[in-house]
Structure 1
Amino acid sequence: MTADFFLLPCCGFRFYPCLVFFFAGVKYGIAISIILFCDLAFLVYAHHRGIVPPNMFTGTDVLFFLYFGAIVSVITILLILAALYLSFQKAVQKSLLEANRAKNDFLSGMSHELRTPLNSIMGFSEVLDREYAGELNQKQKDYVSYISASGSHMLALVNDLLDSAKIESGDMAFSAAPVNAGQLIASSLQMFQSEAEEKGVELVYDADANLKSLTVLLDELKFKQVLINLLSNAMHFSPQGGKIRLSGRANAHLLCVSVTDDGPGIPDEFHELVFERFYQIESDNLSPGSGLGLSISRYFVQLHDGEIFVDKTDGHCGSCFTVEIPLHLPLEGAP
């Protein structure tokens, strides 16, 4: 053997870092690391046994190659670990996406399945309440009222879950069209007239005169759902004999709607948290709910490029939820 035979693996050391960085995959990284280790081991063995001429390499040269090879080996191992980490991270992310998709599909399917019998319960409750099947005594009317109220509550929970699943999956449709703002806001308040009378809560509608002829670009169903959610919360937390005020203001650029109640109020530190999914403030009169109403409302408002926020009322108790929607159409009657 000549000394030239041993120059090939030794000269190849200068290319090993390039090869390692080029083949950063696990398979190639391990292969190159093994080749490098074998070259180093053979070089040390050959020098120790005197196969390599003594004047070819000094002890310093061998140490240099050993240290250099060790550094490259460490770099190779780090690259292998990085590749493994990235591969694991991608696998976990893919698994989470699939699990989230399966969860949304399950919620969507179950919501649709539950709505069918609930609609039947609500429909037959209305038939009984109107006494189409015969006259009811007072106790029977009370029972029918309980069934109807529980069915309405359950249907609201199912609708919230369905909306939440659509939002997460990105399947929530948005269709804006010209809408009369005054009629939309007033009709939302009228839906709570009967409940307010039963609870002894006063409903106050305070709106600018120009809202009656104000045309805005909205998704009517979604914006009305926002108002219903806010009014429903206000009705729930308002004490007997309390007051709920629905206010509407508009100018050439902004539609502002506020729902104010005189309930226990919301501490400042919870003003942002109440809009998070499944978040509910502890309260003595807290009813079982989904904790999704305000989160869905915020999403619907954001679809309109608007904002929703909560603030304290002018007094010492109560809350004021405000929705601000930018106006994208020329308005009639706006100052």
Structure 2
Amino acid sequence: MSQKELLYTLALQRTPNLGDTSAKKLLRAVGSAEAIFKEKKHNLLKVDGIGSFKLKDLNENQQLAEAEAELRFIETEKIQHSYFLDKTYPERLKHCLDGPILFFHSGNIDLKHKKIISIVGTRKVTTYGTTFCKDLIEELAPLNPVIVSGFAYGVDITAHKAAMDNGLQTVACLAHGLNQIYPKVHKKYVVKVEENGGFITEFWSDDPFDRNNFLKRNRIIAGLSEATIVIESAEKGGSLVTADIANSYNREVFAVPGRSTDKQSQGCNNLIKTQQAHLLNSAADLIYHLGWELEKKDEKPKQTQLFVELTDEEKKVYRFLKEKEKELLDIIALECQIPTFKAATILLNMELKGVVQPLPGKLFQIV
């Protein structure tokens, strides 16, 4: 991305009332952030879902002035950034309609990794929650997952530390700019986190420290991963918001059960009771549901039926899966350029023909 396009993208991101979903619609329709500001508003109003309210504060001079100040910060501090149409933009987050058009990051983050999970929970974590979190990550360590969390007190920092203790990459999603750290007591972990992963945020250096930022940040935590795990949560809390967002993204959600009398387990128990989350007793539960079982080397491959007739779209999916071995439904749909609902039907037909088989965690592979 050129400096000029980054400047206009920052200006677009700063436009009040527009939001990431609408900004993406405009970018796809018009072609670039600069073109949006140059285009006449009556033409922008022709874009589906774009109304006058969303465009009323689209002001090139005002937003560019703010963007120029942030661009200077980005260049001075050598801040890394990722645009939603870049190849480097996290694949799973790309599937989230309201994912940020632009985010900033530091450290050595590699999100091309297949196995990414988010771990969230109460800030007032109990000994039970702390022990469970550490044991879970230690058991998962041989599978080398990336551990995502929010760098807050309690479950978050426990997950980050356990990941680093087991040599795993960890990603901390912040609710403020990269020029500060909250809580301040966690500054001592910054260098180690950046060495073993890093920090991600969509917020600018001058964004106010606001409670709503934490709720907005939660969609990135949910969107980066294939599963969100709630270790402990009271009846209400930000962790439950993250779980709800993960469900809306059609991702797997897990919750650790607790005694009915434990205040810090009420949220988790309710998620399980209302079937909004899988019950999580150990790493084995997660591994099973996500299809992370290690394949047996001596297992003989199944013989695919001969002379099966496939449609052109089925052939496209077959060729893709043959190259990838196994893949998620959303990724199959994206890479084969087929709507997700249609890809699900195609895979079902292929399953009935004995060509593919479903795996836990919404994965599919060639038979």
**TM-score of Structure 1 vs Structure 2, range by shorter chain:** under 0.3
Higher helix share goes to which structure? 1
TM (norm. structure 2) is 0.23
TM-score of the pair, normalised by structure 1: 0.24
Larger Cα-atom Rg:
1
